[in-house]
Structure 1
Amino acid sequence: MTLGFAAPDLPATPLFVIEEAELEDWRAGLPATQAAWLAETGFSARLGEAQPMPGPGGAVAGVALGYGSAAARTRGRFHLAAAAARLPGGAYRLAEWPEGMALEEEALGWLLAGYRFDRYRKPDPRDPARLQPPEGFDAARIEAIASGEALTRDLINTPAADMGPAALEDAFFALAGRFGAEASAVRGDDLLAQNFPLIHAVGRAGPQPPRLLEMRWGSAGPRLTLVGKGVCFDTGGLNLKPGSSMGLMKKDMGGSATVLGLAQTIMALGLPLRLRVLVPAVENSVSSTSFRPQDILTARNGLTVEVNNTDAEGRLVLADALALAAEEDSDLTVSMATLTGAARVAVGPDIAPFYTDADAAAAALAEAGARVADPVWRMPFHAPYEAMIEPGIADLDNAPAGGFAGSITAALFLRRFAGAARYIHFDIYGWQPKDAPARPKGGVGQGARALLDALPGLLGL
């Protein structure tokens, strides 16, 4: 879906964003009827409050929005989005807001508050509350970011019956077509002929053939390669997941969805770089052709992998894709994947952990994540744990025994395939477990906005 601002020439209701500490002084400067109305209705400027104020003839003269206290704001983000969801349809404009308010964050949150996934139900007939961009504000950039996030959410929210490898390929090619990018796919047994054995092994039992999708866009500038895990549904394979763990596995392609949303934003903004996107799209299913525990597979780059758990399949398909990426020069290679439960245990569902050997890149991502309200956290490529992914019978183990450091060992596994390029790996969750401002329960992008904001520094744009 497309999320956008109201046209700047429309009549718009003014919004007054008020902090709790400033409420008394601000109210004292209002006309007596409005001040009395706010007092009578109990408006206290708490975060998320939205109180219309009366004007002549009963018309709405403006809306007071609560911005709470600095302490309250540390407990969340996208604070105006909560109020936006309570307003009737129409155009609104910011007339007054606190000094230092993160205007871009709040404007983006307002747009994202309008996101609806209505593919399987009747669309909401109500008009949304649309915000006019403030003067001098880069509305096109924020709209591009919001639309990229909407694509990510739509892809994740679509159930596997309608978002299998073929449908993910359709979405991939449709995105490429909109921006004049080149796209190609290697499918089924052609994966073996073209040396993608791990992607084939994981996906060969699925109802749709596995495939590797590739997109290229841009003719000049630094090279950025994005690799996204596209496991459209994960049963766990022969190491079958219990039902409680399988319930959210339509989101196991969240890495590919996030990469595609980011790619859309990059292309919409026309960033001066050469973009390459790789997505291994598979289902990890159970059949007579499923790959098995104790199988030893040979990856594209020649490394052998002992399969000690068929539910650790994401790193296998990413391995072949990263090995392909490493065959060309890249200034930065980034993988995104809903890879391990261990990452969720470590940082919870709201933070995107990432791995890199480059201290400057890590600092840039951390600063960008804080700046754009996309929380990320650096995790270590801890070299002493390399021995944990070396089983002895093969070069690598896809699921080391013991359960320790599961996200770290997965990242170390992937690093073996990333080559000499500067490499960043995100182990994301891709799901909002309950409603929050600008983030309804369901699929969500993580790490993409932080990476987008950091790209100028990372690539010298």
Structure 2
Amino acid sequence: MTHPDGFVIAAGAHSALPLHAVDKAGFAAWCAAQPAPVQAWLAAQRFDGSPGTACSWADGDGRVAGAVLGVDDGHDPFAWAHAPRALPAGDWRMVSELDGGARRALQLGWGLGRYRFTRYKAQPAPAAQLVADSFDAETFDLLAACVRVRDLVNTPTEHMGPDELEATARAIAHVHGATVAVIAGDDLLAQRYPAIHAVGRASHRAPRIIELTWGDAAHPHVVLCGKGVCFDSGGLDLKAAAGMRNMKKDMGGAAHALALAELVMARQLPLRITLLIAAVENAVGPNAFRPGEVIATRKGMSVEIDNTDAEGRLVLCDALARACELAPDLLLDFATLTGAARIALGPDLPALYANDEALANDWLAAGQRVRDPLWRMPLWRPYLRYLTSGIADLANSSNSTMAGSVTAALFLERFVDEGVRWGHVDVYAWNDSDRPGRPAGGEAQGLRAAYALLKARADV
């Protein structure tokens, strides 16, 4: 098994430094069992086992001799994520007794805490390494999926446009024996993806729909859709500079869907996967789609463009229509869809919408189990009145500031066939500032919960 940087597989004789873990409630008893010099040092440092803290100590020669971490919920990866950069550089071995769930959380949190995006800038000072006799393969695959999302979202648009998203999908497909079909440019019109074409036609980079398929036809069929707006200028309804600054992340939904598909394939879950990524750049140009236009969609509904900056739902509506043609057992989509979801729930909680109670409850429960929470929002159908058009079947947005995330989800639901179990995640995919295990930049949110959901449904 290969393993990422920051982890050392070595037998027990390896000269790693001892690493302890305590919570605040158990600190006094643990501390009383330590040598007197260590007790004195911890007291001098006022270390009390508070969550997210760390304290190391030296031997008589001034060399680092051990350390302790303050951890509250040992099954939460982010409870451990401060460790790699809070500890002195070197090799560390956990000596506290941990159950299987806590060991896996430690390993995942350690990897998340070490992560830095280094494509354009060298890694800072070396971080600590975790030593163990063995590591959990599934945990490393989960870590790789989270890193995949972070790397894709962090990559600037000049190096992560529709072409590069397609290349990433093809590379992943090659590794796992999947197949990829792509429809791009004006072929989107001939092949009935008019909404994707309308949003992406003004860019010098051709818009496209990327379709990856994998798995045994006898297994349950799951379709994963991702919003791949590789940059969102807002179109002719141009964003202000502050709102445009981080719009390289507007393909965060596609990053989540792609990483989740890769994770399912890596773990060989008994599922059949179809991945659909609508990859475009929402640019300004002579042929940009305009406010007030009426565009066609794959499902046959006409949409009046109220605002060209409500473009993610337009590319997704064609992808969802294609997904329903495949009659899946389950349809999940991920999108950095609305600022309204962030106003409602803040940056850390993805908004979950679902047309099936069991699906919603299972996804929420999975998120609680793996400490990757989501928050369910309502598909309050009376709010469809905000999307009424006088000249088309539907408007893509409204002038009202009310229920922006809800109306976006309701728009998407119009393109999901009756009887198809569907879940939609409106995700931020971003950390605004540095926190332990959550460096500023791209972030995977709801991904581990989605994997836990699919794993449970696959009954493995």
TM tier, shorter chain? over 0.9
CA distance in 2, matches of 1:4, 1:42: 29
CA distance in 2, matches of 1:218, 1:127: 40
Query: Which moved further from structure 2: 246-255 or 25-34?
Result: 25-34
What's the TM-score, normalizing by structure 1? 0.93
Name the residue aligned to 2:56. 52
Name the residue aligned to 1:436. 435
Q: Structure 2 matches for 1:70-219, cutoff 5 A? A: 78-96=78-96, 102-124=102-124, 126-132=125-131, 139-219=136-216
Size of the aligned set, in residue pairs, is 454
Q: CA deviation at 1:189?
A: 0.7
Structure 1 counterpart of 2:202, one-letter code: A
Q: Structure 2 matches for 1:1-20, cutoff 5 A? A: 2=4, 5-9=7-11, 10-20=14-24
CA distance in 2, matches of 1:14, 1:223: 47
Q: CA deviation at 1:403?
A: 1.8
Query: Which moved further from structure 2: 276-285 or 164-173?
Result: 164-173
Pick the aligned partner of 1:265 from 259, 263, 266: 263
Q: Structure 2 matches for 1:278-297, cutoff 5 A? A: 278-297=276-295
CA distance in 2, matches of 1:325, 1:233: 24
Deviations 1:161-214 (A, max 9, x none): 111111111112111112121112111011111111111110000121111111
Query: Which moved further from structure 2: 81-90 or 304-313?
Result: 81-90
- Secondary structure of the residue aligned to 2:82 is helix
CA change 1:398–1:383 in 2 (3 A) is: same
Say if 2:6 and 2:114, in contact at 8 Å, map to a contact too.
no
Name the residue aligned to 2:37. 33
Structure 1 counterpart of 2:110, one-letter code: W
Deviations 1:77-106 (A, max 9, x none): 712211321223333222115789844333
CA change 1:330–1:101 in 2 (3 A) is: closer
Q: CA deviation at 1:400?
A: 2.1
CA distance in 2, matches of 1:443, 1:381: 28
Say if 2:81 and 2:109, in contact at 8 Å, map to a contact too.
yes
Say if 1:2 and 1:150, in contact at 8 Å, map to a contact too.
no
CA change 1:150–1:305 in 2 (3 A) is: same
Identity %: 45
Say if 1:331 and 1:459, in contact at 8 Å, map to a contact too.
no
Say if 1:354 and 1:377, in contact at 8 Å, map to a contact too.
yes
CA distance in 1, matches of 2:82, 2:297: 48
Q: Structure 2 matches for 1:385-400, cutoff 5 A? A: 385-400=383-398
Name the residue aligned to 2:219. 221
Name the residue aligned to 1:371. 369
CA change 1:208–1:44 in 2 (3 A) is: same
CA distance in 2, matches of 1:101, 1:49: 21
Pick the aligned partner of 2:243 from 242, 245, 265: 245
Q: CA deviation at 1:278?
A: 0.5
Pick the aligned partner of 2:27 from 23, 30, 35: 23
Q: CA deviation at 1:13?
A: 2.0
What's the TM-score, normalizing by structure 2? 0.93
Q: CA deviation at 1:375?
A: 1.6
Structure 1 counterpart of 2:119, one-letter code: R
Structure 2 counterpart of 1:355, one-letter code: Y
CA distance in 2, matches of 1:416, 1:344: 23
CA distance in 2, matches of 1:369, 1:234: 29
* Structure 2 gap segments, 5+ residues each: none
Say if 1:3 and 1:143, in contact at 8 Å, map to a contact too.
no
Query: Which moved further from structure 2: 29-38 or 436-445?
Result: 29-38
- Secondary structure of the residue aligned to 2:277 is strand
Deviations 1:229-259 (A, max 9, x none): 0000011111111111111111000000111
CA distance in 2, matches of 1:7, 1:374: 27
Q: CA deviation at 1:324?
A: 0.7
Pick the aligned partner of 2:338 from 337, 340, 349: 340
CA distance in 2, matches of 1:358, 1:459: 18
Say if 1:50 and 1:65, in contact at 8 Å, map to a contact too.
yes
Pick the aligned partner of 2:71 from 64, 67, 79: 67
Name the residue aligned to 1:276. 274
CA distance in 2, matches of 1:367, 1:32: 45
Q: CA deviation at 1:4?
A: 6.3
Name the residue aligned to 2:447. 448
CA distance in 2, matches of 1:120, 1:390: 46
- Secondary structure of the residue aligned to 1:52 is strand
Deviations 1:114-160 (A, max 9, x none): 11101111234x4432224587xx71111101111101001100111
Q: Structure 2 matches for 1:393-408, cutoff 5 A? A: 393-408=391-406
Q: CA deviation at 1:371?
A: 1.7
Query: Which moved further from structure 2: 273-282 or 106-115?
Result: 106-115
CA change 1:101–1:448 in 2 (3 A) is: closer
Name the residue aligned to 2:415. 417
CA distance in 2, matches of 1:78, 1:289: 46
Say if 2:182 and 2:211, in contact at 8 Å, map to a contact too.
yes
Deviations 1:317-352 (A, max 9, x none): 001111111111211101100001111111010001
Say if 1:216 and 1:276, in contact at 8 Å, map to a contact too.
yes
Structure 1 counterpart of 2:118, one-letter code: D
Say if 1:315 and 1:410, in contact at 8 Å, map to a contact too.
yes
CA distance in 2, matches of 1:26, 1:107: 23
Say if 1:386 and 1:412, in contact at 8 Å, map to a contact too.
yes
Say if 1:105 and 1:373, in contact at 8 Å, map to a contact too.
no
